Amino acid sequence: LREIAAEKDLEGKKVLVTAGPTQESIDPVRYITNHSSGKMGYALAKAAMLRGADVTLVSGPCSITPPPFVKVVPVVTAKDMFDAVTFVSAEQDIIIKAAAVADYRPKQVFDEKVKKQDKEMSIELKKTDDILKYLGEHRTPQQFLCGFSMETQNMIGNSRAKLGKKHLDMVAANNLKVAGAGFQGDTNVLTLITQDEDVSLQLMSKEDAANVILDKILSIMKEREQ
Ligand code: CTP
Ligand code: CA
């Protein structure tokens, strides 16, 4: 009932959310990925939809059912995500990049399964394109760009550096070492970092965290309009 009664304060807004990990193939059998569950991104997409937004969810491989009334674009690799995001980014009012995009991919993808040998082996990696940095460099002034940041040390300093370097309006930072925060669980402990302040949130469900993030984004957008 609470969900049906949600205030439609995002009516008329186009919101793009990315979620989940990416997978970077080594050969037809193996890939490189990370522990992202997609829960935070899916919670954001659902919350934005309930608040009346026109939501697109670009999602890496996840095992969660996507929320209804959301355009879902499934992707696998960082390159796929780059293409899917940049295809629709220009028309978005708000972009929230909750996905844990691979920073590196194998330089060479083998067509056949790589067989083991009696010696050590190494895989050469190439950097992926930073999607969020690209969006920051090609943004319109009205657009709101929110990144996520996953750190295990110097969370505020490192996350604030991302805010500047990628030309973002906000970074939702989490410290993987804090209990109840991070990739797999149903809760998060976030700090919302903007140009003006750092707001530390209590431990809360990812659903509640999603709504607090959307509240903060809307309040900054309203301030700007004045
Ligand atoms: N991101 C992205 N494209 C990449 C890498 C990251 O769009 N190739 C985005 C993520 O979706 C996230 C933000 O950048 O919103 C920060 O990701 P994070 O991994 O915390 O930071 P990085 O800038 O990748 O730096 P590092 O991993 O070294 O901390
Ligand atoms: Ca990274």
pLDDT, tens digit (0-9, with 9 covering 90-100), for 75-92: 999 999 999 999 999 999
Does the reported pTM lie above 0.90?
yes
CA of 144 to the centre of ligand 2 (A): 21
In a domain, 197, yes or no: yes
User: Is the separation of the CB atoms in 106 and 32 below 8 Å?
Assistant: yes
Please, what is the average pLDDT of the chain?
Answer: 96
Q: Which phi and psi angles does 94 have, rounded to 5°?
A: -135, 130
The CA distance from 18 to 38, in Å, is 9
Range of the domain at 210: 14-106+125-225
User: Angle formed by the axes of helices 39-50 and 206-225, to 10°?
Assistant: 60
Dist. CA 191–CA 89, nearest whole Å: 25
Average pLDDT over residues 155-171: 97
- Establish whether 158 is a catalytic residue: no
User: Does 24 reside within a domain?
Assistant: yes
Please give the distance of CA 136 from its chain centroid, rounded to a whole number: 14
Interval 98-133: pLDDT, tens: 999 999 999 999 999 999 999 999 999 999 999 999
Q: Does residue 9 lie within any of the structural domains?
A: no
Ligand 1 atom nearest the C-alpha of 129 is 8
Q: Which residues crowd ion ligand 2, with CB under 5 Å?
A: 103
- Is residue 3 a part of any domain in this protein? no
In the predicted structure, residue 2 carries a pLDDT above the cut 60: no
Contact between 103 and 127 (Cβ < 8 Å): yes
pLDDT band for 3, please (50, 70, 90 cuts). low
Q: Is the beta carbon of 162 within 6 A of some atom in ligand 1?
A: yes
Q: Is residue 2 part of a domain?
A: no
Domain annotation covers residue 8: no
Strands (E) located in 60-182: 71-74, 94-97, 104-106, 125-127, 144-151, 170-175
119 dihedral zone (left: phi>0; alpha: psi -120 to 50; beta): beta
Domain CATH for 147:
3.40.50.10300
Total domain count, the chain: 1
